[in-house]
Amino acid sequence: MASRAGCPNKNKKFLLNRLKDMFGKDFDPIIRMSEQAAELHKLARENHDVPSYRASIDAWDKVAVYVEPKLKSVGNQLEMGEPVPFIINIVEPNSD
């Protein structure tokens, strides 16, 4: 039987508990990735180093997948001058 969506399986729970044993009970891998991405960005800005900027962007990109939905690419074969169809969905903001 599959586990519920979003519920970590036994291996993930074991690994997270092991990491918390190593790095403290408040350890969170996404927060740690964010801290490291911020440090890379800071170093890149201080050194004006292009490879460091690229590493910083890659690090932030890896963090972003946890907080932003992925967008599907859409391909169209429209001719020039042809109207472009699109749909606007209005989403009410949460009052959380």
> Which pLDDT band, with edges at 50, 70 and 90, does 7 fall under?
low
CA separation (Å) from 20 to 13, 32, 96? Answer: 10, 12, 30
pTM of the model: 0.54
Residue 19: inside a domain: no
Domain range enclosing 57:
25-68
Tokens of 14: 């074991």
Query: How many domains does the chain contain in total?
Result: 1
- Report pLDDT digits (tens) over 22-70: 989 998 888 888 998 898 888 888 888 788 888 888 888 888 888 888 7
CA dist., res. 89 & res. 37, Å (int): 33
